[in-house]
Amino acid sequence: MLTGVATFLLTLLTDHHLGVFRVLPYDLHLTVDGIVGAVFVSVPLALGFSGIEVWYYVALCLTVLAVVGMHKGEEIAAMA
């Protein structure tokens, strides 16, 4: 729940097309997303999850990191 609320607030505060207040740079948003994606891997280990719960968090991690990676790749390509 907290991750969802934090993500919603981050979206509202980020300087991009869905941002309402647009006070945070988009690079910061992507950095926070990357950190959250990495944390998703450690959650099942820290909380002793097993089975399908582990795969749920692994899927979240891979999805978030893939999206962040695609956006970072676009930035790098735009610089070239």
In the chain, where the domains are located? 2-79
Residues 41 and 60 sit within 8 Å (Cβ to Cβ): no
Q: What is the pLDDT of residue 19?
A: 86
- Report the Cα–Cα distance between both ends of the chain, in Å, rounded: 40
pLDDT in tens, 7-48: 889 989 999 888 889 999 988 999 999 898 888 888 898 999
Query: In this model, does residue 62 exceed pLDDT 70?
Result: yes
pLDDT confidence bin for 80, thresholds 50/70/90: low
**Helices 26-47, 2-13: inter-axial angle, 10-degree rounding:** 170
pTM to 2 decimals? Answer: 0.77
CA 39 to chain centre: 10
